[in-house]
Amino acid sequence: MCGRFSLASDLQEFLEQFKLELPEELLHPRLYNIAPSQPVVGLVADPEPRIEVMEWGFVPSWAKDDGKFKPVINARGESVAEKPYFRGAFRNSRCAILADGFYEWKREGNEKRPHWITLEDGEIFAMAGVQSHRHSPDGSEHVTCAIITTTPNELMKDIHNRMPVILPTEEIGIWLDRETRAQDAEGMLIPYPAEKMKAREVSQYVNNPRHGSAQCIAPVE
């Protein structure tokens, strides 16, 4: 699963390829330890790509507001297109969640050692996701999302048995496009090339979701 990630880099250069501009307060987010239920920055197509701030924890648009449906942070790529909980969103409300790294915990004996995984070049990337728009009884809109995961590549196999689906930059627009057929979108749910990624062990400081400083990504000495 993917249960924490970071977005501490300047977003504007990444977004220029989509002809998008961010408000000043979002240009340098400095988010080193994003956890479930927190706001995340993503892209959606409407029909052209636009920025969307969403809450990490998907609840389907058709769910009643009675508390019976608990937010889900990850959707398995092998079943997201068919599972009733995600099926409608996969066909009509795909999104791309922006990050510059994600965390995973490697089990060694009785201990879990956190690792921070990034692209080899350290650039921002987009994780495939699904989103949902729901309206609260007071009329306000509640936008939620989940990150789609897949089997691990060679780098991740030694750390964990799942990893987020990372979209090649040139395929983000295709993923977001509502005209893209569901079976074609399914074909994009594959592991990102291991040779284009790197990982390093970080301290257990990141284990606490209340910790949000750059210390989260500091390498273990």
Domain ranges, ordered by start, for the chain = 5-217
How much of the chain exceeds pLDDT 90, in percent?
78
> Alpha helices, DSSP H only, in the chain?
12-15, 84-92, 154-157, 172-176, 182-186
DSSP state for residue 91 in the 8-state scheme: H
pTM (2 decimals)? 0.95
Q: What is the β-pairing status of strands 74-76 and 5-7?
A: unpaired
Q: Is residue 177's pLDDT more than 90?
A: yes
Element of type H or E holding 109? none
Q: Among 2.40.30.20, 3.50.50.60, 3.90.1680.10, 3.40.630.40, name the CATH number for the domain at 5-217.
A: 3.90.1680.10
pLDDT band at 141 (very low <50, low <70, confident <90, very high): confident
Mean pLDDT value across residues 24-42: 87
Two structure tokens written together for 30? 């400095």
Lowest mean pLDDT among 12-16, 83-87, 144-148, 213-217: 12-16
> Alpha helices, DSSP H only, in 93-189?
154-157, 172-176, 182-186
**Residue numbers annotated as active site:** 2, 104
217 in Cβ contact with 34 (< 8 Å):
no
Mean pLDDT value across residues 161-187: 96
Q: What pLDDT score does 189 carry?
A: 98
pLDDT band at 27 (very low <50, low <70, confident <90, very high): low
Two structure tokens written together for 181? 């057929």
Write out the DSSP string of 165-212.
PEEPGGGHHHHH-TTS-HHHHHTT-SPPPGGGEEEEEB-GGGGSTT--
Per-residue pLDDT tens over the stretch 66-117 = 777 889 999 999 999 999 999 999 999 999 999 999 999 999 888 999 999 9
Q: 135: Cβ–Cβ under 8 A, 6 or more apart, which residues?
A: 141, 142
Mean pLDDT value across residues 41-55: 92
137 in Cβ contact with 175 (< 8 Å):
no
Q: Is residue 60's pLDDT more than 80?
A: yes
Lowest mean pLDDT among 25-29, 46-50, 80-84: 25-29
Q: What is the β-pairing status of strands 49-56 and 141-150?
A: parallel
Q: What pLDDT score does 155 carry?
A: 97
Q: What Rg, from alpha-carbon coordinates, does the chain have?
A: 17
Q: Per residue in 186-218, is it b (16+ CB within 10 Å) or e — as a string?
A: eebbebbebeebebeebbeebeeeeebeeebbe
Mean pLDDT value across residues 184-210: 97
Residue 159 and residue 217: Cα distance in Å, rounded?
16
Q: 111: Cβ–Cβ under 8 A, 6 or more apart, which residues?
A: none
